[in-house]
Amino acid sequence: MSTGTKPEQRRHYTNTRGEHLLRRYQRAHRRRRRAEVRLSEASQRRLMWTRFKRHRLAVVSLLLLVGLYGVALLAEFVAPYGKLDRFPDATYAGPTRIHLFHEGKPHAPFIYGERVALNPDTFEYEAVADTSQRFPVKLWVKTDPYKLAGVIPMDRKLFGTGDDSQPLLLLGADHLGRDLFSRILHASRVSLLVGFAGVLVSFVLGVILGGLSGYFGGRVDAVIQRTIDFIISIPLIPLWMALSAAIPPGWSGIQTYFAITLILSLVGWTGLARVVRGKVISLREEDYVTAARISSAGHLSIIGRHLLPALTSYLVVHITIAVPTMILGETTLSFLGLGVTAPDVSWGSLLQQAQDVTVVANYPWLLTPAAFLVVAVILFNFVGDGLRDAADPYSR
């Protein structure tokens, strides 16, 4: 009797599993159909966002960029030290190693103390680890009072040792014994935000002047295009140097910051203006624009409500590509000594110390700001590629 029931049980199991798989397939098919119906009725903005989410590299890059900007805005809290805090005994000190084992046994994160000893090979005094001293690396460590973003009073840091006698120098120190990691985080606020501020100004100038040039044509177009030709014909770095030289030397860091933003914006709008002009010329004779003219719509209304929305996809992609260009422009100015100056810092001003090959050969950690700059530019480019593919109506 028992042997006769086994084939029946197997057939019952097979039929039950087949029905279960069929129901799963039907549910998945219904979900896909509902998603297709929603997308067929979705707006252009939602279609772009749906396509963008399928670009995994762009999504990851966007999340990393959001994290990078978050760290920049919270630099006082994330950085273990201030941008001007000095440790005289740590001049050109190398990166501090964080240890997880002591005498072969697991241990909470800590760093060893350091002592100065004579190197018998080079006959120079060097800092060596003192294993008899251990300083634990703690989270939410208490520090001297400070103001987060210059507004919120706080007395805690994200991490640190809580003991200034042995600083935690994650990326080493500079020629004055200042923590390079903390200075990079403080500098990221200027280098990253100058990109957005500069792009905002150049974006407005490029869209307005390019739209007016393409829509009206004639003398308006001629004046704007000859102005663009004049700006493009000037060599970029000498132009930056001339405009930066006009900044009064007594200005504060904030005033210099806005001056650099204005300088980069005044020379960064020409490319966008020409593209917008060409696209507006191709769209101004469309039927819906003619219908708007017949209905007595004003010129500015036609440009703002009918022509520019057709360029939304391109404009969004342009912003993501223009931001790293602005960041590189600010870095170039600061590297040449024409941008942000002490006591304020940016990635470009930090790289000034790496101009000497001998210094870089002996203290290679001074090139670390360049790594942050390269990563930021690459992330923006990846996000721009994702937006470009999402905005392409012929993309799969």
Given 127, 153, 172, which residue is the final one in a domain?
172
Residue 24 has pLDDT above 90, yes or no: no
Q: Is 371 left (phi over 0), alpha (psi -120 to 50) or beta?
A: alpha
**Do 207 and 302 sit in the same domain of this protein?**
yes
- The domain in which residue 255 lies consists of 182-391
Q: Are residues 243 and 202 in the same domain?
A: yes
Instruction: Report whether pLDDT(240) > 50.
Output: yes
Residue 155 DSSP code: E
Write out pLDDT tens, residues 27-84. Answer: 776 666 665 555 555 566 677 778 888 888 989 999 999 999 999 988 889 988 888 8
Domain end position, chosen among 172, 201, 220: 172
What confidence category does residue 275 fall into, taking pLDDT thresholds of 50, 70 and 90? confident
- Provide the pLDDT for residue 1: 44
Residues 148 and 195 in one domain: no
What end-to-end distance do the CA atoms of the chain give, in Å? 59
Total number of domains in the chain = 2
Whether residue 234 is found in the same domain as residue 344: yes
Q: What is the CATH number of the domain that holds 255?
A: 1.10.3720.10
Using a pLDDT cut of 90, give the percent of the chain over it.
7
Highest mean predicted confidence (pLDDT) among 205-209, 243-247, 298-302: 205-209
From residue 101, give the alpha-carbon distance in Å to each of 109, 110, 131. 8, 9, 12
Same structural domain for residues 162 and 215?
Answer: no
Same domain, 261 and 299: yes
C-alpha distances (whole Å) from 390 to each of 47, 314, 336, 395 are: 8, 11, 38, 7
Residues 368 and 387 in one domain: yes
List of E strands, the chain:
99-102, 105-118, 125-136, 138-148, 152-160
pLDDT at 2: 47
Are residues 211 and 314 part of one domain? yes
